[in-house]
Amino acid sequence: MRERNQTIRDEDHELVSLCKKGDVDAFEALVKKHQKRMLNIAYRMVGNYEEACEIVQDAFISAYRSMKRFKGKAKFSTWLSAIVMNLSKNRLKQLKAQLHREQYSIDNPVLTKGDPASSEPSALEKLEKRDIQQKVQGCIDSLDDEFREVVVLRDIQGFSYDEIGHLLKVPEGTVKSRLFRAREVLKDCLKQVIGDL
Amino acid sequence: MECSDIQQRLSAYIEGSVSSEEEGLIEEHLKACQQCSESLADLKKTLEYVQNLEEIEPPPWLKQKVMARVRSEAEAKRGIFQRVFYPLHIKLPIEALAVIFIVVTTIYVFKTMQPELELAKAPSEEVRPRILVAKKEKAPALDKGKPAPARPTEKVMGAEEQEIAVEDYAEPKPPARIAEGEQLRPSAGAVAQDELKRKSLSSELRLAMVERKGEGVRFTLTVLNIETASKEIEDALLQLNGRIVKREHVENRNFLTAELDSQNMKELYENLKLIGDIDEKEVDYEAWEGDREITIEILKKP
């Protein structure tokens, strides 16, 4: 689990202040800094790369328009994640109405974590790894929205329970109980699609 | 603790968010329970799969697209601001000229309106005598050809009656009718001309009044002592039930204006002859009727 660096002062505070004064370059710096994390949140939520890119674009534009209303009660990254999460959930509702969800994602994201060239896995290993990744994503996709969002935020993105509660506007206890059930469902799903874990 | 309780706490146990006491109980149970140990292993493996999901990389165009939209919106906002206030080197002179134009127009309109507003406020004095003159000019025209004594019914107007008459004539006339026959000049320099006009009209009023009085009786009496003679004349008028209307002293001579019944006019004439030298020829006063205005000019003998 990735540990988040908890600081009292938001590290984006200065950039956010500049943005509020109309500094577009400061906003560009924020986009550059957070786009990858936001894209990963969106992708794990909707399970589609192109859709995730669209969501992230809309989220940044929405954040830019609402920047003056950002009071700094939470970190900028948390606030931005909440926007991405809301847009993702809205998009999911639309997609559910349009598409028949496949068991597994057929989408082919740009994967970046590669081993060094010296120890590059064989083609078979690559295929196996990709297959596992797709199965895991498939299981995540199969979760109910309220389970999926806590798994994405806690187990994939490493937000604290407090941040997740603030972000989803639910009590911390609710986050924990949802996470417990989500993990159980996910475990059962993975057992089914992968076999023995 | 039952297996179900343990399995419910495994999620928190993995994260290390259980109390040390609870942690001890769980670990003790796990040593003895194969099923719960397997559950823990499965849960750990599940989290491992999830956390090992590879991160996806944003496409290069993502930031460009976002910033293109952001810059476009920023430009639009700035565009509105600029349309209103920029470029100052063009807008400021235009705005300054507009302000000057408005000020000049306002002053012009105000100056043009001012005389009319003053006239509208009150039909001023200078207009009223004009009406009287007009009336005066019309009246003799109607009586043209008739000798003065042959108009005994025409009443000589006293000063107060004249004022009333003026009011009567002036009141019903709106400013538009007042302006008939005379050109009002509503211009910026109208004030000085108005003053001249006022003086001219005042002269006309005086002339009219003199002429009016001329229809009465006028005596010129030459005496040794003006003041003594004036008192004697006043006494004589009062004895004859006359009414003193006005006393004036102008350049070593007194003017005494009074109203007297025509029937007493002859007696007054006789009394005046006793006070000084009178230049008025004797008139057939007995043919007159009603009150008459008389003006007696009292001169000092040379």
Distance of CA A81 to the CA centre of its chain: 8
* pLDDT tens digits for range B211-254: 344 457 788 888 888 888 888 888 888 888 888 888 888 888 88
Q: How far is B103 from chain A (nearest CA, A)?
A: 39
3-state helix, strand, coil in chain B (%, to 5): 65, 10, 25
Rg (CA), chain B: 56
Q: Using a pLDDT cut of 70, give the percent of chain A over it.
A: 83
The two structure tokens encoding residue B3: 């297996």
Q: What is residue B271's predicted lDDT score, i.e. its pLDDT? A: 86
Chain B hits for A31, Cβ within 8 Å: 63, 66-67
In this complex, the residue of A140, A180, A190 whose CB is nearest that of residue B8 is A180
For residues B184-193, average pLDDT: 46
* pLDDT tens digits for range B248-275: 888 888 898 988 888 888 888 888 888 8
Cβ–Cβ of A110/B63 closer than 8 Å? Answer: no
| Contact call for residues A180 and A155 (beta carbons, < 8 A) | no
Chain A hits for B56, Cβ within 8 Å: 39-40, 43, 49, 52, 109-112
Q: Which residue has the higher pLDDT, A138 or B273?
A: A138
Of B114, B295, B294, B92, give the one whose Cα is nearest residue B187. Answer: B114
Residue A26 has pLDDT above 60, yes or no: yes
* pLDDT tens digits for range B75-92: 877 666 666 666 666 777
Residue B187 has pLDDT above 50, yes or no: no
Q: What is residue B1's predicted lDDT score, i.e. its pLDDT? A: 66
Q: Using a pLDDT cut of 90, give the percent of chain B over it.
A: 20
Query: Looking at this predicted complex, what is its ipTM?
Result: 0.81
- Is the preceding omega at residue B93 within 30 degrees of 0, hence cis? no
Q: How far is B31 from chain A (nearest CA, A)?
A: 20
Q: Does B41 touch chain A (CB under 8 A)?
A: yes
Mutate to test the interface with B, among A49, A53, A137 (most CBs of B within 10 A): A53
For residues A140-166, average pLDDT: 93
**pTM of the full predicted structure?**
0.52
Residue A174 has pLDDT above 90, yes or no: yes
Cβ–Cβ of A187/B43 closer than 8 Å? Answer: yes
Q: How far is A15 from chain B (nearest CA, A)?
A: 15
For residues A103-123, average pLDDT: 52
In this complex, the residue of B55, B56, B65 whose CB is nearest that of residue A49 is B56
CA angle, A27 then A33 then A37, to 5°: 120
Q: How far is A43 from chain B (nearest CA, A)?
A: 8
Cβ–Cβ of A1/B15 closer than 8 Å? Answer: yes
Region of poorest pLDDT, from A92-101, A121-130, B49-58:
A92-101
Confidence of residue A120 (pLDDT cuts 50, 70, 90): low
Residue B137 has pLDDT above 80, yes or no: no
